[in-house]
Amino acid sequence: MTDLLPQPGILFTLATYIVMVAILVVVHEGGHYLAGRYFGVKIDAFAFGFGRELFGYDDSRGTRWKFNLIPLGGYVKFTGDMNAASQPDPQLAALPASERAELFLFKPLWQRAIIVAAGPLINFAFAILILAGVYMALGHPSTPPVVSAVVADGPAAAAGIRPGDRITAIDGSSVDRFEDIANAAMTSAGAPMTVAFERAGVEKTVTVTPKIVETVDRFGGVVRHGRLGIARSGAQVVENVGPINALRYGVADTWGITVSIARTIRQIVMGERSLDELGGPIKTGQVTGQQASLGVLSFIVFMAFFSINLGFINLIPIPMLDGGHLLLYAVEAVRRQPIGAKVQEWAFMSGFAAIMSLMVVLTWNDLGAVGVWARVASWLS
C-alpha cells in the first residue's frame, strides 16, 4: 500500500489557490477585454479582485487597471455597465449617437456575442496551449487499449472480455488508448456501457456495467468512481511530438475533459450522482494545494484542467454567467429586438440567486468534507 502524502499547509494552499485564480481571471477577462477592444468598445475598468481598490492606474485609453482587496476573481467593466455582471444601464438610450457608437450595449448583436463568448473560449485555448507545451517538452504518453488481465469476478469478465482483447469503442466513441477506457469508466455513474473490442481480427460488442468503488487518493481523500475490472498492458509509449501534433493532442484532451465535465453535471442533474461529489471553493482550494505540493508541473496541468472547468461553467445558460448573456442574445436574435429592461433585471436577479444558492450548498458540503461539521458536533455533544 502506498504511503499517504502529508496535506499541504493552509498558507501554502491559500497562496497557490490565489495564484491560480489570479492567472485564470486575467486569462478569462482578458478574452472579453481583447474582443471588446477589437470591436471598439469603450472600457472603464479591468479589475483584479473584488471589493475596495488598493491601487491602480489609468491607461491612455481611459481604462482603469486596478487591484482590489479580495484577490479571488476579477472583471472587465464596459462603459455603460451598471455592475461587474455587465448589466446595462437603461438610461444609455438617451445618449447622443456618437457616444452610443462606443458602447457595448449598442454594438451589433454578433459582436456582443463574440465579446461575451471570448472569455470562456480563451479559457479553453489557454488549456490547449498548456497541454500542448507539456507534450512538446515531455512527450505525449499513451498506452495501447489492449487488455492484459481481467479481474475474475469483475464487470468485464462477466461481460465476456478476455486478456488480449483490444477495446476499439465505448458507447460509440472511438478508443485510441487505454487512458480513454479508464476515463470512461471513472466518470461512469454505474450505467451500462456498450463496449466494442477486437479479438483475433473479429469485432465484438458487449454491454458492461461498471462497478462503483471507493478508493483513497494519495492525500487520504475518498474518491468514488466506476471500474471495469481490467488491467492495461503496462507498455506505455511516450511519443516525441512537434507543435502541430502537440496542439492536436491538446485539443483532443481538452475536448475529452469537457465531455467528462458535461457527463458529470448531467449525472448530478439526473440524480445519478450525489451533489456531494461536486466540489465548491474550499474543495477546489484544497485540491489546488495538493497538486501544487506535487510540483510545478502538476500545478500547471491542474490549472489547465481548472481553466477548462471555468470555461465550461461560464457557458452554462444561467443569467450573470456568460452563457446566460448568450442565451438572452439568442432570444433577441429570434425576436429581432432587444429584451425589455425589466425582463433582463429579473433574469439577472434569478441567476444571481441560483448561483449563490449553489455556492452555499457546495460550501456547506466542502465544510463537511474537511471535517468542520464533525468537529462542531463533537463540541456540542
CA dihedral 289, 290, 294, 296 (to 10 degrees): -30
Beta strands in the chain (DSSP E): 43-58, 64-78, 140-142, 147-150, 166-170, 173-174, 193-199, 202-208, 211-216, 222-227, 230-232, 237-239
Say if residues 353 and 136 touch (Cβ distance below 8 Å).
no
Say if residues 96 and 283 touch (Cβ distance below 8 Å).
no
- Which residues neighbour 231 within 8 Å (Cβ) at sequence distance 6 or greater? 147, 148, 149, 150
Out of 29, 214, 239, 277, which one is annotated catalytic?
29
Active site residue 332: no
In this structure, which amino acid lies at residue 71? P
Q: Number of C-alpha atoms within 13 angstroms, CB side, residue 351?
A: 21
Please give the span between the terminal C-alpha atoms of the chain, in angstroms, as a whole number.
36
Say if residues 7 and 290 touch (Cβ distance below 8 Å).
yes
In this structure, which amino acid lies at residue 342? K
In Å, the largest CA–CA distance within the chain is 77
Say if residues 28 and 122 touch (Cβ distance below 8 Å).
yes
Q: Locate 107 and state its grid cell.
A: 454594438
Q: Locate 347 and state its grid cell.
A: 433574469
Active site residues: 29
